[in-house]
Structure 1
Amino acid sequence: MTALGAGALAATDPGAWQQVALDWRAWAATAGRWVAELRTCAAGLRAAWKGAAADALAARIGGLLRRLDLFRLGCWAADQALSEFAAALARARPGGDIASATRADEDTAAILDGLFAVPAGPPGGDPPACTAGPEEVARWWAGLSAGQREWLCAARPGWVGSLDGVPAAARDRANRLMIDGLPIAGSLPDRLADGDGPRAYLLAVDPAGDGRAVVALGDPDKATQVVTQVPGMTADLASYGGELARAERIAVRAAELAPERATSAIMWLGYDAPDFLGEASGRSSANAGAPALRRFQAGLRATHEGAPARQTVVGHSYGSLVVGTAAARPGFDADSLVFVGSPGVGVDSAKDLHAPPGEVWASTSRSDIIQYAAVSPRSLVEDLVVSQARPAGALLAFGRPEDDLYFGTNPADPSFGARRFASRPGGGHLGYWDEGGPALDALAAIALGRGDVIPR
């Protein structure tokens, strides 16, 4: 394929390609409604009709349902390819980057040429063991034919969608198929259907209990930099929309600072976040979530296309303890660690975290309640003594932020050794993502690897 000309690139409207992507997404939604109606009819037939003829009709309906599922998988593949093509054109146009636009054109054409691959049946050999690492899973997936991958996405969507080491595009399609009939309502399905902003990739979902979900905005396997954000206490499927919107602001601001570079922002709720302050005062949720976060980050590294992406992991509130626990052991796939509004990260020094030199960052707003509410037992005793020992002691003891918190030294305290950045004094516990604020600028700059522009 010949390179695009400068005139053709300038005249190309990324929005038109995005609309085509949305049309494919709409076809998938329409087919989903047909599937739901057919399943209802099939259930009614099985209840009211028995015998060979009923069995034959049920088999025909089952075959039709499988073909509709394959059609939806193909629609979502087209939606993904065209959404990413539109985003690539938008990045290329301001600087006239013909080479990147041509590569995107070739990649998109290859995906579209392979749409609606005929399933080849189940792959031979043994699937990866449950103990297999993401690198091993990635090698197994790469060795499958297109038809075998399509069969797995259609026949075992829940399993494929949960596998770290399977590319984000395949996981998203499998998970979208898998959530049919699951009790998931509200902001998550709305964002998956939304045509505004970067395309959402559903990388994991589990409605059990309070619910878990992992959503990437923009394909992380194609991005130049990937930001994984881990939320804190009370995060669940019901609050997921707000959590995801905050992560998206980092990607949007990064695109404003470096419009030629692709940033994928991920909201990683892959653990059971504490619901109450009593639960949040212990480490059990973080200890349970840290291995899953380590595996997820390794999966991002294993499936990424081309040169490795810069991987930044942001922990907010209790999520910073999850990140700190994951980074306390060697081999955590993160190029930068960021802690905001932290109750402590499980260690007392940045030197105890496995991150590249100078790549541990922290900020806590002066008005963030975390540094007043998450005081360590030792500091609480000292404050009680001070409050009783002198006039105005209560104000002296409890009217100032603490640096000795539930889970160690406040990472935003100079003694911790992180690189600190500014946040709005009145921003409270959620102001780090306020548009126009210094903390959001810092988060985007860190994601881009531009530590020289961080406000001190």
Structure 2
Amino acid sequence: MTWIPSSAEEVLPSQSPILGCPDEPSAVARYLGGTADGVAQYRAALQRAQHTLGLVQSDGVTEISGKIGQRLEVGAVALNQTAVTARSAFEHYAAEIDRIHAAARWVHTRVEGSLAVIRGQRDTIDEICRALGARVEFHWRAGPPVVMPALALGIPAPGAGWIGVLPHDGGATTGGAMEALAVRARFEPLWAAAVSRWRGAVDQIDADIDEWRRLFDERSSAELALLTALNSTALGQLITVSETTVAARRSIVAFGFSGELWGLTRPPVSPATEHALLVQLLGTRSGADTWHTPPAPARIAEGWSELTPSEQQQLIAEVPWVIGNLPGLPFHVRDQANRRLLEYYALHHDGLSPECVELLRELTSALQDDTGSPPVSVVALNLSGSIPMVAVGYGTLDTSSSLTWEVPGMSSDAHLALGSWHQASQNLYGTQERLLNAQRKHTRSRGGVAQAPGVIAFLAYDTPHLLSVLFAQSARTGAHRLAAELDGAAATRAHGVPLPTHAVIAHSYGTPVTANALTLTQYPVQSFTMLGSAGLDDEVVRAFSDLNIERDHAGAPRVFTTQAAGDQLAPLGAALSDRAQPNPGAVAAGQDHIPGAYVFGSDGWGALLSTDGHSVIGAGDRGLLGGNASTGRGYLDIDTQALVGAAATSLGALPHVPGGLTRNGQPMVSPDTPWILSKGNE
């Protein structure tokens, strides 16, 4: 007898769309509705108190009134908005779960019905087989064979003698043959009907399994929509940017909404720029000018080490804007301070420009998606102007064996470009990690030490648009901040873990920004790699020897460049702006050329893909002059020749540059030992 599943649970996938009860999220929604009403009443009481206090004049009353208006009422508004948004999200989630559960229960009922049909047809098939004296083997999902088995010889048919039994003279009886035909004629329609019903039921079960999986996916989508809505609230953002312990989150939320917890107060996290302790660090109480004119990073690194841990934490908590943006401080300190800033902006974003609000949303999303591989950190954050500026780190930046800065080009202000550079940075980090793993296997037999990359996306200057890209001002202004950050990383490591490899990869207009910055730095970097350069500012940089870059064994600065054939926008911009072209194959008539860079390919090599446009991450069509790379074909898209080449040059792993290097038109075999292996690892 063919085995048939006894219940729908044995057939349907174990991942069930029926989980929990819609009454649970509905109860949460009701609770949140009561919370919203309670907060509204609380806010009304605060307003009445403010009105009453306004009739009295004294220092104490002014302080209380200020706390009500600047902390409690602001927190009440944010908490009310959180409760209202969360209530709506839970109501929608409850409705979705109710719908999905009802649909899933109907699927379960249909499967039970289909199994009942199959069991009924199995009884019919078994009865026919007994009558025919036949035996058939088949899986329940395959169903019985379409053709009914043959009648066995010597089986007594109802109302007849022994069908098919031969008489003594060896001939078959005519009556027996007719009876056999009559038996087949009787059972074949029943067999065919049973087969049809069986297979129809199996087809229905297959369709129901697909529906079950679809409903499970819908339930997962409903859960994701709920989480997204909750994370978008002020409370959700505070939790996202806070530390992971329950106590820390409780403190962050309480201070964020009311400025105190259990009677203990703390100065509100705010972009304040003055503090008495800053005198020890900056020589002045005010850090308002530290973004545009940062102090010498070496001095900052030394001054920070002289503060007590308590003083350091006080500065992080009370002037996070200053601490988070001071080159020369450890990256984990800056990340901690900048996350404090995010806590503040999560509640106080009314005064921000729309661009800054958009960046805040993008950055919060990137931190929410942080899986820790690599860990994401906020290196710099400045939302004080109309254009947001940020630097985002990938990896353990204070201990990494390499640190690579990425500098974007035209139309890459932080709110516009964080998404693409977030992807590009992860691509670069992953490729560098694979190269380091390959190097590690090679060096382990020779006592090689473990290496780990670090990457920072520097979206911290006002990038030019389509017209201003032809001028040098943005590059000259942005260079000062970049130079301070490069020196800051070197100065920080001078008081901690050595930094064997410090590199810059620049794209498009980011190449003149970087080149200008490398004329201002105190500490040299190991390499400078250019992707689709928009030309260099030859009023500042006349030769690569002007740049503060370490030289190779041939005495040449380690400058690398690539220009995709499909990227026609970069050389046009360089020519129109009359900037000097570092790519020998892209020099226009009458245009200055800066010779001496090592050139690597980006048009595909072996299994590696070509870059067919100007962007770092390709999306959609190439556009006019290859202004956009097609999907998967940007300079830093995964598995492109340009990405692997940039990863190798930034690590100094020159033998791993796909397609090799040329310089002044000649193929080059680098005499360098990859400095990621040699420098600092003696």
TM-score of the superposition, structure 2-length normalised?
Answer: 0.46
1:372–1:445 CA distance, 2 compared to 1 (3 A): closer
Give the counterpart of 1:339 among 521, 530, 533.
530
1:405–1:274 CA distance, 2 compared to 1 (3 A): farther
Identity %: 23
User: Are the equivalent residues in 2 in contact too, given 1:317–1:370 (CA < 8 A)?
Assistant: no
- CA-to-partner distance for each residue in 1:202-248, whole Å, 9 max, x for gaps? 12122322321111112321111011000000011232111222122
Residue matched to 1:246:
424
Distance 1:378 1:286 in 2: 13
- CA-to-partner distance for each residue in 1:377-423, whole Å, 9 max, x for gaps? 5989xxxxxxxxxxxxxxxxxxx9741499953x6xxxx21111110
TM-score of the superposition, structure 1-length normalised?
Answer: 0.67
Residue matched to 2:651:
448
Residue matched to 2:499:
308
Q: How far did residue 54 of structure 1 move?
A: 9.0
SS in 2 for 1:192: helix
1:403–1:124 CA distance, 2 compared to 1 (3 A): closer
Q: Which moves more between the two structures, 257-266 or 350-359?
A: 350-359
Residue matched to 2:92:
none
Give the counterpart of 1:140 among 300, 303, 309.
303
Q: Which moves more between the two structures, 125-134 or 237-246?
A: 125-134
Larger radius of gyration: 2
Q: How far did residue 133 of structure 1 move?
A: 0.4
Distance 2:524 2:589 in 1: 27
1:222–1:62 CA distance, 2 compared to 1 (3 A): farther
Partner AA of 2:336 in structure 1: R
User: Are the equivalent residues in 2 in contact too, given 1:294–1:332 (CA < 8 A)?
Assistant: no
Distance 2:397 2:589 in 1: 34
Residue matched to 2:261:
none
Q: How far did residue 290 of structure 1 move?
A: 0.8
1:128 has 2:279 as partner: no
1:429 has 2:637 as partner: no
User: Are the equivalent residues in 1 in contact too, given 2:535–2:571 (CA < 8 A)?
Assistant: no
Correspondence 1:35-434 to 2 at 5 A = 44=47, 47-50=50-53, 76=243, 123=277, 126-129=280-283, 132-179=295-342, 180=345, 181-182=348-349, 183=352, 184-185=357-358, 186-196=361-371, 197-207=373-383, 208-236=385-413, 237-259=415-437, 260-276=450-466, 278-304=467-493, 305-329=496-520, 331-346=522-537, 347=541, 349-358=543-552, 359-376=558-575, 402-404=586-588, 408-409=592-593, 416-424=595-603, 425-430=610-615, 431-434=634-637
User: Are the equivalent residues in 1 in contact too, given 2:571–2:587 (CA < 8 A)?
Assistant: no
- CA-to-partner distance for each residue in 1:353-390, whole Å, 9 max, x for gaps? 3312241100010111234422535989xxxxxxxxxx
Distance 1:231 1:438 in 2: 19
1:406–1:162 CA distance, 2 compared to 1 (3 A): farther
- RCO comparison, higher one (Cα < 8 Å, 6+): 1
Partner AA of 1:201 in structure 2: S
Q: Number of paired residues?
A: 351
Residue matched to 1:99:
none
User: Are the equivalent residues in 2 in contact too, given 1:375–1:405 (CA < 8 A)?
Assistant: no
Distance 2:49 2:303 in 1: 39
Distance 1:59 1:295 in 2: 38
Distance 2:590 2:469 in 1: 9
- CA-to-partner distance for each residue in 1:273-305, whole Å, 9 max, x for gaps? 0022x2000100011111111110011111123
Partner AA of 1:275 in structure 2: H
Residue matched to 1:4:
none
Q: How far did residue 124 of structure 1 move?
A: 8.3
1:378–1:344 CA distance, 2 compared to 1 (3 A): closer
Q: Which moves more between the two structures, 370-379 or 416-425?
A: 370-379
SS in 2 for 1:151: helix
SS in 2 for 1:267: strand
User: Are the equivalent residues in 1 in contact too, given 2:508–2:570 (CA < 8 A)?
Assistant: no
1:307–1:281 CA distance, 2 compared to 1 (3 A): same
- CA-to-partner distance for each residue in 1:136-165, whole Å, 9 max, x for gaps? 011111111111111111111111111111
- CA-to-partner distance for each residue in 1:337-363, whole Å, 9 max, x for gaps? 011100212245433333122411000
1:195–1:326 CA distance, 2 compared to 1 (3 A): closer
1:48–1:73 CA distance, 2 compared to 1 (3 A): farther
Q: CA RMSD in A?
A: 3.7
Distance 1:369 1:294 in 2: 29
Q: How far did residue 328 of structure 1 move?
A: 3.3
